[in-house]
Amino acid sequence: MAQNEFLPLCDVLFNIISLASYFCDIVFDLVMGYALMERGRTFWFIVTLMFVALSLTISQVVSLRWYLHGSAGGGSGALVKRLGRAGVVALHCAQLGVLWRYFKLFLPCDLRFVKYEVRDLCMLRLVHAFCQAAPMLLVQLYLLMEDAADLREFRDLNVVSVSLSLFSVCWALASFSKNVRMHNVHKLVLTWLGVIFQLFWRLGTVSGRAVCLVAYALLYRHWVLLVILLHWFCMFLWLVSPNNLFHRERLSRPRKATLCSLIAFVYVFAYINLQEANHRPKMVTFYGVMAIENSVLMYSWYSGTPGSGQTLPLTALAVFLIGLLFMFLYYRYFHVRRLKYEAGGRLNGPPLAMPLTPDAKVTYRSVTSPWGSGWCGR
């Protein structure tokens, strides 16, 4: 019987940041929606409620499904036994399921199963990011850049909402690992410097992308939806092409098409690496195409608004290039392979802490290195 223990301080801090960004993003989106309703912006109020409700519903349904079915080796079955199925269902119906997953990690827990909980939270955080935070980032940035007279009095609230939505998307991407599938969850590795450099990489590329889309929308309104749809369609065809994503996995065609369609929407904003080999050419291709597309969108806005100045295009270009710079620095110096991790997620050299070994496949230990601390699976 394994003894329950508290997580190390650095990992508790990581969970606090994730919990705070998740909770604050939802609260400020709702406050922003209420402010829009008060000023007669009924359409944007409905849009805000729609995205918030969509995110909460999908997150709770997915979380509840994982709890009731029990993650393989993840201890979810034990939780259901302690609370009862009715208790678990009640938590999720009250929209507290995801919050409970976070709070659980602040209590003494079986460290053999921590990675399963982290894996589930990484996935749920990504669901929230692209069901709510990413669409709301475009909506709030559009309202901010529109600079309408009736919205100026709560401009500060709008700025805070935009910042939280952007951070929520980028933090979800930064803490997301390509090794989050259940069969290789033991490879999940998160290091502090890796997450920080990924965060700045995502802040640059996502904010540059959002500014270009919103600038185009300011001039051409709903035609930006056609741009997003065409980009999504191209990414979908790319993902379902032979020898690409999931080609070696036994998935039915409908399920593969569904997964590729969801990932293609993520690719509207950012690239996520879901393959363990030959991802560099794909990443270069993706960001090359996105840079061209962003340039076309910004040129369309610039040519259609004479006398608008060059501040916005130069800002969009600068933040995008800064994001790519941080991406290069991350892969050059702070990727787990650069920090001397083996392919299975284990730090080379003598162990820094006695590992827990009740489960030969999943072992948790806190690693402290000159680069910081993080999750390390063995």
Residue 11 is predicted with a pLDDT of 76
Residue 325 is predicted with a pLDDT of 96
Q: Kindly report the pTM of this predicted structure.
A: 0.83
As a whole number of angstroms, the distance between CA 193 and CA 180 comes to 19
Low-confidence ranges of the chain (pLDDT < 70): 1-4, 6, 70-83, 112, 177-190, 244-249, 275-278, 336-378
Radius of gyration of the chain (CA): 21
Among 286, 290, 288, residue whose Cα is nearest residue 274: 286
For residue 46, what are the contacts with CB-CB under 8 A and spacing of at least 6? none
DSSP 109: B
Beta bridge partners of 369: 372
Residue 372 is predicted with a pLDDT of 38
As a whole number of angstroms, the distance between CA 218 and CA 301 comes to 8
Joined together, the tokens standing for residue 320 give 């995008």
H helices of the chain, where?
9-38, 42-69, 76-93, 97-104, 114-128, 134-146, 155-175, 192-220, 223-240, 253-266, 280-304, 311-329
Joined together, the tokens standing for residue 56 give 């909460």
Joined together, the tokens standing for residue 341 give 């991790």
Judge contact between 273 and 302, C-beta under 8 A. no
As a whole number of angstroms, the distance between CA 73 and CA 76 comes to 8
As a whole number of angstroms, the distance between CA 64 and CA 70 comes to 10
Joined together, the tokens standing for residue 89 give 């269902």
* Alpha-carbon distances of 82 from 5, 75, 287, rounded to whole Å: 18, 11, 47
Residue 75 is predicted with a pLDDT of 52
Among 196, 203, 207, 204, residue whose Cα is nearest residue 137: 207
Which SS3 state, helix, strand or coil, does residue 341 take?
strand
Residue 221 is predicted with a pLDDT of 87
Residue-wise pLDDT tens digits, 206-250: 999 999 999 999 999 899 999 999 999 999 998 888 776 666 667
As a whole number of angstroms, the distance between CA 205 and CA 342 comes to 29
DSSP 3: P
DSSP 347: B
Tokens 């806190």, residue?
366
Residue 175 is predicted with a pLDDT of 81
Judge contact between 13 and 102, C-beta under 8 A. no
* Alpha-carbon distances of 294 from 146, 277, 298, rounded to whole Å: 19, 28, 6
Q: Between 192-220 and 134-146, two packed helices, what is the crossing angle to 10 degrees?
A: 50
Among 319, 84, 101, residue whose Cα is nearest residue 206: 319
* Alpha-carbon distances of 270 from 16, 114, 263, 366, rounded to whole Å: 24, 28, 10, 30
Q: Mean pLDDT for the chain?
A: 80
Residue 207 is predicted with a pLDDT of 96
**Residue ranges of domains in the chain:** 1-176, 190-335
Residue 274 is predicted with a pLDDT of 77
Joined together, the tokens standing for residue 259 give 């997964």
